[in-house]
Structure 1
Amino acid sequence: GANSKINLGLIGCGGRGQWIADLFLKTEKYNLVAVADYFKDRTDEAANRFSIPENKRFNGIHGYKKLLELKEVEAVAIETPPYFHPEQAANSIEAGKHVYLAKPIAVDVWGCNTVESAAKKATANNLCFLVDFQTRANASYKECVRRVHNGDIGKILLGEATYITGPTWGHMDKYLRQNPNNVDARIRAWGLDAKLSGDVIVEQNIHAIDVATWFLNAAPIKAVGSCFKKREFLGDCHDAFSVIFHFPDNILVSFCSKQNGAGWDDILCRIYGTQGTADTHYFGTVKIIGDEPYDGGRLPNLYTDGAVENIKTFYKNITEKDFSNPTVPPSVRSNLTAILGREACFRTKQSPDQKFAEITWDELIKSNQKYSLDFIT
């Protein structure tokens, strides 16, 4: 009923997993009843923090499947490296659990398709499936997008999306330096691993790309770009990306990101129209400048507030039996858009003399690209 608490299982007990579990508990609408992580020390750390008994903590690559066998677990929060999301989400729905999934939903085309199918199955089986994008839960962002869709900035001409930050994941570098070829080290340092994370453009920059696809309400037709690795960290992720996405109606969106250096941090999306400009910042203001202005104010703490909002919505959807799962299709679209950008960059990097080489949306979808990690069985 509306007053009863939902029994939650946590899959992924790292920094974000524990942080999310804490936010779930603070709403006072959930009990945390079981935890799972690849690493025993992580599982135990979370279990001890949240008073989970020995027989409700699981580790190892398939540990989460034991968590899914527990009858009392009604819902799961999946906060693992993105490579694992599709399989874990699909198996959770298969086991009859509601799913709260961290972004990005996947690292490859196959993963996006798997999540999309799992969510359709969820709807058919009266289960909730929510993808946690903080911006999409925010009232100012929602209103700004509504106004753009309503024609408040006129005809859209051009867009830009940017994610500028310093060197993230430095703490993971030490695991690789201590033991570069060790499986456990590689999984601990997942943020520096292009296959486990999807690379920076998919794992992190998707926040900016997602807002652009939300404003345009479309997928790109093709993309061209390039990327480089300039920082000293080990691993195969790139820290500088630049992409031009070609959307329908000849709308170009320029995207750039860095995960290195100092002096300026911003996650922004700007959409330029014939009568105005929408200007949105994850850590700042959301507004429209032009004939029909809008001031959505300054967002002091979207990172936390957006997650809390999504956690409350998840509860509401479960208790009110709303199984429409509207967060999934746009998340699939923006995830594939980020992958399209990544593949465009990789194609250029691999071409002779790094000559720019475009990739089309249709080509990407047809490829049904699937990453496989030989060390994970």
Structure 2
Amino acid sequence: MKKTANIHDPSFKDTFSRRTFLSGGAAAFSGMVVAPHLVRGATANGKIAVGMIGCGGRGGWIANHFKAHGGYEITACADYFQDKVDAFGEKHGIDASRRFTGLNGYKKLLECGNLDAVIIKSPPCFHPQQIADAVDAGKHVYAAKPVAVDAPGCRTVAESGKRATKNKQVVFVDFQHRNDPFLQETVKRLHEGVLGKITFGEAFNHSGECGVKPGPDTPETRLKNWLLYKALSGDYMVEINIHSVDMMHWMMQKPPLSAIGSGGRTSKSPVGDNWDYLGVLYQYANDVPVTFTSKRYNDGAGEQDKHQIVELYGTDGRLHTKYAGRCMILGRNPYKGGKTTTLYRDGAVANIALFHTAVTTGDYSNSTVEYGVESNLIAIMGRTAGYEKRLVTWDEILKSDDRMDLKLDGLKA
């Protein structure tokens, strides 16, 4: 089997240049002829037939990029809300018989013929079961992060990834920042030792408050505002901060030994229960502490100087990285670096191309699942330490059986 380039390897810059990345060069993979033995139900035109699970804002946005790639055809869709499914279906020419609603609508989608893969862009609380069911149905899976809101969910996803590899299926977790060539080079140099002995680190994800979708006090309105509820989103620490957490994990290579934290909620809104500020001290091996601070309230000062940033300090220099911003190294071994300002789009486009390549070439290594799950658990570790205001160890999180109560009573199946 021909080995394909792995963009998630920091050394991938040697085969995937910045110019190629920023010019949409990932589209070079589009239009590939799909080998019939690798994609069981491929469409007559050789495209990968995909179904969308979760037709809201992010699902609708990324569907456009799947379509633009040229190697996919969207043939089915599912969402809890009828209006979302119909708007999505009309836009992408999906027959009404292949549009499904309700909490279990995705199960009907999985039973559709002419379907090779699913894109999962539903609220994170649903991801573990949806990924597991999709793998059991023989589908390839492209999933949003985070993959779960609790440790048992993370274990379910890890098991699904292993099962998919055994069954020759692809499960891909969508992190855009691992495609940033400047971040890749920065991490590569870090791992080569340019900072000397790492002494400590700092990570930030500061932003304003999230908007509320108005409506009556019903289960449907709660589901529409899933991002604001800890049980549905995992809290901001998991749903949003996982970007910075994964950057930190990529750099540190191993999970922290423990975490301790504190925080709270300033918002007086009756909608949601997420904490809107949190501070965590992650303790790594070799006496390396990394502080992580998060805020999601408006303070009038602006947030861009502290938005999705990870910095590491060593005896020979300092590393600075920012999502869609400047990545560089200062000190005895400097790296000027640069920034990919369109990373949100370009990272997704590159991942869509990588997913296509994995499916069509039979790359079932599913490496994104491993770090997707580990970063998810590190975020849950920080959330637990903060909410419970105590020391939490990595071993404790790995063994945790604490499950979120989704409170889905009153919603239609």
| TM-score normalized with structure 2 length | 0.86
1:205-354 aligned at under 5 Å gives the runs: 205-233=241-269, 234-261=271-298, 262=300, 263-265=302-304, 266-348=307-389
| 8 Å CA contact retained: 2:205, 2:308 | yes
Coordinate RMSD, CA, aligned: 1.3
Identity of aligned residues (%): 42
Alignment of 1:94-109 (within 5 A): 94-109=136-151
Which TM-score applies when normalising by structure 1? Answer: 0.94
Q: CA deviation at 1:68?
A: 0.5
2:354 corresponds to which letter in structure 1? T
Letter in 1 for 2:246: D
Give a deviation string over 1:222-279, Cα, whole Å, max 9, x none: 1111121112332111110100001111111100011111412211001111111110
Equivalent position of 2:86 in the other structure: 44
Q: Which residue of 1 aligns with 2:15?
A: none
**Residue of structure 2 in register with 1:124 after alignment:** 166
TM-superposed deviation, 1:366? 2.0
Q: Is the 8 A contact 2:125 2:406 kept in 1?
A: no
Runs of 4+ with deviation above 6 angstroms: none
Cα deviations by residue, 1:286-326 (Å, 9 ceiling, x for unpaired): 11112222233122111111111100000011111100011
Give the SS at the match of 1:335: helix
Task: Check the 8 A contact 1:2/1:320 in 2, yes or no.
Answer: no
Q: Is 2:144–2:174's contact at 8 Å kept on the other side of the alignment?
A: yes
Alignment partner, residue 206 of structure 2: 164
Determine the C-alpha separation between the residues in 2 that align with 1:343 and 1:80: 23
Partner in structure 2 of residue 352 of structure 1: none
SS in 1 for 2:286: helix
Q: For 2:141, what is the secondary structure of its paired residue?
A: strand
Provide the rounded CA distance (Å) in 1 between the counterparts of 2:96 and 2:399.
Answer: 46
Which position in structure 1 is the counterpart of 2:396?
A: 363
CA distance in 2, matches of 1:161, 1:330: 18
Q: Give the Cα separation in 1 of the matches to 2:374 and 2:408.
A: 29
Residue 32 of structure 2 corresponds to residue 2 of structure 1: yes
Q: For the residues of structure 2 that align with 1:60 and 1:224, how far apart are their CA atoms? A: 39
Aligned residues of 2:180 and 2:340 also touching (Cα < 8 A): no
Match of 2:36 in 1: none
In structure 2, give the amino acid aligned to 1:288: I
Aligned to 1:354: none
CA-to-aligned-CA distance 1:111-132 (integer Å, 9 cap, x gap)? 1000000000110011111100
For residue 227 of structure 1, what is the amino acid of its counterpart? Answer: G
Aligned equivalents of 1:156, 1:135: Cα separation in 2: 22
Question: How far 1:140 moved relative to its partner?
Answer: 1.6
Mapped partners of 2:264, 2:324: distance in 1: 26
SS of the residue 1:202 aligns to: helix
Q: Indicate the larger mover: 367-376 or 300-309.
A: 367-376
Corresponding position of 2:27: none
Give the distance between the partners of 2:407 and 2:311, measured in 1 at CA.
41
Shift, 1:139, TM fit: 1.7
